[in-house]
Structure 1
Amino acid sequence: MQPVLSQPHSWMLQVLLASTLLLWENVYSMPMCFDMEGYNEIPIEELLDSAIFMAQHISNLTTQMSEEFDANFVHSLGYKARNSSNCHTTSHATPESNEQIQQTQSDVLLKMMISISRSWYHPLKQLVRVLATLEGACKTMLLKVIEVMETNQEILGELKAILVRVHPGAEESVYAAWMGLADVRSADDNTHYIALSNILHCLDSDTDKVATYLEALKCRIIHNNSC
């Protein structure tokens, strides 16, 4: 089977990949500061609706990618021992049940979401690079990862804007460092595929978590928990 980027018309993906990575290297390699001025005139309900829509969208995309990757690369390995405790973001203590979410203050919930989103900056960049050259990978998966990478950054900006509205002067929490690059780059196919499967599984879990927290936050802030 030919690598995805050696197939006909793959030069379009190469151009897309190159332009996307160039943007990230030249802009987002700097400290991730956002110009909040552009958000000042947007009502908080609109910010929440926008963030929820994007979070739900990338949550759906990551579920599709995780299932597709496992079906194509991991199923034959009989690998089923995935555990969310292996995710690099588990250093963030996050509420799991609806009751725990309700007991978490709004500013704390927002800082959790910001930390989670920031923690995916480097893993998503590496996912794009790896899937661009992974033999047998569907080209639509690469496009989905690029979309998730860019949308995650948009969500991060809106989360910061909402935090400023909900709790002016609040400081962000530290985000989790990702240490999985060695396994992702491993020359051993089993190690390589399992590492990618774990990343996609963790990404799926975290994007779903952010979407869930955002919905709970809107219910609390806009509807006074009458949802």
Structure 2
Amino acid sequence: MGLEPRVFAFVSDGEPSVENNLRWQKDSLWIDSSLLERMSPRLLAILAVRNYMEQEIWRRYLPLLLLVGVTALALSFAAASFLQRLFGENILWHLTHIFVIPLFLEIPSLLREYVRRRADEETLQRLAEPETVLLAMEKAVEESYRNGETDKRLQSMLKRLNRVRAKAGEPPLTLEQIKAQAGEPLHREEEEQLLTVNTAPQEEG
């Protein structure tokens, strides 16, 4: 990563995902200040390193993705125009709508998934601390749940965690286990604390 990054804290803007609350801007890392209170700096550092690697890998593949996309579209349009002049009907254009365009739209998500796999593998190799990496990823899912992240997004994070756990020879975790380990979501804790304050007996004046 070169020079030591500068670390700054910011007040939460409502983003529930721990991963998205570790934000790189060039060589500066911005961290949600509430995470610094709930997670150890070591685990946050591991997640930040993984995020940095993911961004770097994505930047390497992005030009290739654009090149492949532009080339595929250019070839499709050229072939469609040729067939239209030859047969008087744009058969390939209909086939492009049915098969090529949906596949093309799926490529970015497939590439993003591949980049995540590469980032996870490189993180494990460079840090050589699989147990700590797994713990960091597990805590990220737990804290994201406590922050109010959706089940759909939690399932995606859990799938990524379980893939790394499988590489480390560990059994998979379920979303129910994650929620049980995490405890009550933060908004429920705040509501309970507020209820306790409001129902506390008033001191006699």
State whether TM-score is above 0.5.
no
**TM-score if structure 1 supplies the norm length?**
0.26
* Rg larger for: 2
**TM-score if structure 2 supplies the norm length?**
0.28
Report the structure, 1 or 2, having the larger strand content: 2
Which of 1 and 2 has higher RCO (CA within 8 Å, sep 6+)?
1
